[in-house]
Structures are given as structure tokens and as C-alpha cells.
Chain A
Amino acid sequence: MAEQTYFEDVKEGQDLPEFTIAPDKQQLVKFAAGSGDFNPLHFDEKFPMLQAMGISDNIVHGRFKYAQVGRLVFAFAGPKGRVKKFGVSYRGMDLIRKPITVKGVVTATKKEGGENLVELDIWTEDADGKKTTPGTATVALPLKG
């Protein structure tokens, strides 16, 4: 059964459960398949654009990282909650096979338009702790009572 977070239990400053992934080439090829983005930047290590950009290896699709913070907020919302909005900027590149940690923190809770909303900062971080994909999200949660 999927876990459910309830509005009353959420506190400002609370961290979401983080996770780390290090996508290999098979994962990026599967993401190309799923997303329809077949840019060779992400799977062909000889692709000329990589050399032109001075990058040593294939890079992870930005939208792959977006989807990872998407997993974080979707799990936080639970089946009875709803992700209303989430967005990120791609500030830094992440290389294939390098660890990416997906994190989030509650920045505010409020009642608005008849909904119980939780505002979050969400991001992915590389192995050096650099926030390569910073963003925010708004999630509506159910009440316990």
C-alpha cells in the first residue's frame, strides 16, 4: 500500500526522504526511449557536440533530473494528495555514472482555495554538493481528520 502523508503532520523545515542514483548508459537510453529525446549527447561518447562543449563524457538529460524530483514530490503527495506544480532550472551538468542525490525540504504550509498546500524547495545535488537542478514545488495534501 502506498504511504500517505497528511497535512497536519507536515512541519516547515522538514526534509523529504532523499535518494541517490548514478544512471548508467542503459538508464539514459531507456530515458531516451521513454521521453522521446534521442539527442546523442546523452549516449554517444563520440558525439562531436561533447567535444565542442569541452565535456569529457555523456551528460544526463536535464529532464531526467526533473523526473527524479518529480518522483520525490509524487511519493510525498501520496495517492490522496496531488502535486499541483513543480519546476526546476538546469544550472549545472551531471555526467553519466556519477552520483546524483535528490532532495527536498518543506518551506511553508498554508490553506488556500480550500486546499491544504505544502511549499517545497526541491533539487538534485552532485557528488560535490553542488545544486545542479534547483527548483520548487507545491503539493496539496489531505487532512487526517
Chain B
Amino acid sequence: MAEVFEVTDEIKAQYGKETDPWVYEVTTTSVRMYARGIGSTDPLHYDVDYAKSQGFRSIVAPMGYVGTPVFHPDTNDGTFGFPRRAGGTRLNLPMKGLLDGGTETEYLDYICAGDTLLETSHLAEVKVRGNMVFVTNESVFKDRASGKVVARQRLTSIHIG
């Protein structure tokens, strides 16, 4: 039986190919909005003085929030906000359905309001299971000032239908 999508050698050869970087901003406003968005009332996400008293640079990004990509209507997707940019890999999948498959974040340091991060992303893996195609991209987040990697995220999306 034919697979819904073939993961060719050409596609596999693209694994690891980095995009151009994109700026992600972490501001007090964006940290607080994300914290409100998840329903957290932890003052570490809202109160700068309190966060500093607990040893942090400023209010802490809730776990999973890695800043907001700088948005421009010419370059960013209007629904999801992600940037379209040079480099990386463009997969042309025929499926119309898109679902979130999984998220993993690895932290090498805390992310706090006031941080500006540079993000690059690459295709990590494509897998076919039945009528679903699982695409995993990995993003690396570096502190723009120091160049140090502060976090990595693996994002898996499911293409179906």
C-alpha cells in the first residue's frame, strides 16, 4: 500500500539545515500576558521586585514561553506568528489538516523579561505513521548579547487528511 508521504533521502539530507536567525523578545508585558494566558498567579511572572528578591534578573518567563518572535505582516504568519525566512527546509506536504504533536523544551538558563534572544530552527525529523506525517523542528535560542544558548525546543506537528 502506498504511503501518504515518502520521506525521501533528499528530505533526510535536509535534517539539521539551519534557518537564518530571528529575534525573539521577552518583555515584562509579554511575560505577564503569557502568564495570564495560562492562568498562573505566581508573582515570579508578574512582580519584578519580588522576582529580583528571589534571585532572578527580572520576572521569569513561564515554562514553555521562549519569547515572542518580532512580528511584521510581510514576514510572519497571521495566525501562528512564526516567521518565514531564508534558510532551513521547506516541506511541501499535501495534507490540509494540521495538529500539534508534541513540545519539548530544554533550558540551560532561565529566560527573564528584558532578554532578547536569537532563534534559529532546523528540520530534525519526518516520520510517517498511517495517514499522518509527523514533522519535528528544533529551535535553538541564544541570548543575543552573550551568544550563549539558553534553551532548545523541539516542536512536532502532525499533518493529516
Contact = CB atoms under 8 A, between A and B. Distances in A.
Contacts of B17: none
Contact of B106 (A34, A36, A84): A84
Contacts of A86: 63-64, 104-105
Contacts of A64: 37-38
Interface size grouping (class) on chain B: 35 or more
B68 A85 contact: no
Contacts of B154: 87
B5 interface: no
B75 interface: no
Given A82-B110, A87-B103, A2 B80 contact: no
A73 B64 CA distance: 11
B154 to A, nearest CB: 7
A99 interface: no
Interface stretch (A7-15, A25-33, A111-119): A25-33
Interface stretch (B6-14, B28-36, B87-95, B123-131): B28-36
Nearest to A138: B106
Interface of B: 30, 33-40, 42, 44, 54-56, 62-65, 68-69, 71, 78-81, 97, 99-107, 110, 154, 156, 161
A61 B100 contact: yes
Contact of A83 (B38, B63, B156): B63
Contacts of B106: 84-85
A53 B100 contact: no
B102 A87 contact: yes
Interface of A: 2, 21, 23, 27, 30-40, 49, 52-53, 61-64, 66-68, 70-71, 73-75, 79-80, 82-90, 135
Given A53-B97, A73-B63, A90-B100, A38 B38 contact: no
A21 B38 CA distance: 10
Given A67-B38, A71-B63, A87-B154, A36 B68 contact: yes
Contacts of A80: 55
Contact of B63 (A21, A53, A70): A70
B97 A38 contact: no
A2 B44 contact: yes
Contacts of A87: 102-105, 154
A31 B40 CA distance: 11
A58 to B, nearest CB: 14
Given A21-B39, A70-B64, A71-B63, A36 B104 contact: no
A30 B36 contact: yes
Nearest to B108: A84
